Amino acid sequence: LTCDTSGPASIKNMMQAMRAKFGANNLLTAAITADGSTGGKLDAADYGGAAQYIDWYDVMTYDYFGSWAAQGPTAPHSPLTSY
């Protein structure tokens, strides 16, 4: 199930409703942004409030560095050596 939310409280409200519907015996996860910059995407939603209903967050870090980056291609979800 993929859901797109908007508004600061929407992720918390949605996860609370999903936890109530599916119960504690089912795994509930969420893929979230890795943008922790001031005023960034992490500030746009109440991920801390939703955490009590979620088993874990999958932080999407795969597009922060790559072969295009001046500091090199090695970063989260990047190969440690060249192919």
* Residue 43 CB neighbour total at 10 angstroms: 13
Average pLDDT in the chain: 81
User: What range defines the domain where residue 49 resides?
Assistant: 1-76
Indicate whether 82 pLDDT > 70: no
Full-model pTM: 0.70
Q: Is residue 54 part of a domain?
A: yes
Residue 15 burial class via C-beta count within 10 angstroms: exposed 0-12, middle 13-18, buried 19 and up = buried
Q: Closest by alpha carbon to 55, among 21, 10, 17, 25?
A: 25
- Can you give the pLDDT at residue 37? 73
Higher model confidence: residue 36 or residue 53?
A: 53
Statement: residue 81 has pLDDT above 60: no
Q: Is 34 inside any structural domain? A: yes
Structure tokens at 77: 């979800």
The residue written with tokens 């609370």 in the block is 16
The answer to whether 76 and 60 have CB atoms below 8 angstroms apart is no
Residue 82 lies in a domain: no
Of the chain, the percentage scoring pLDDT greater than 70 comes to 73
How many domains does the structure of the chain reveal? 1
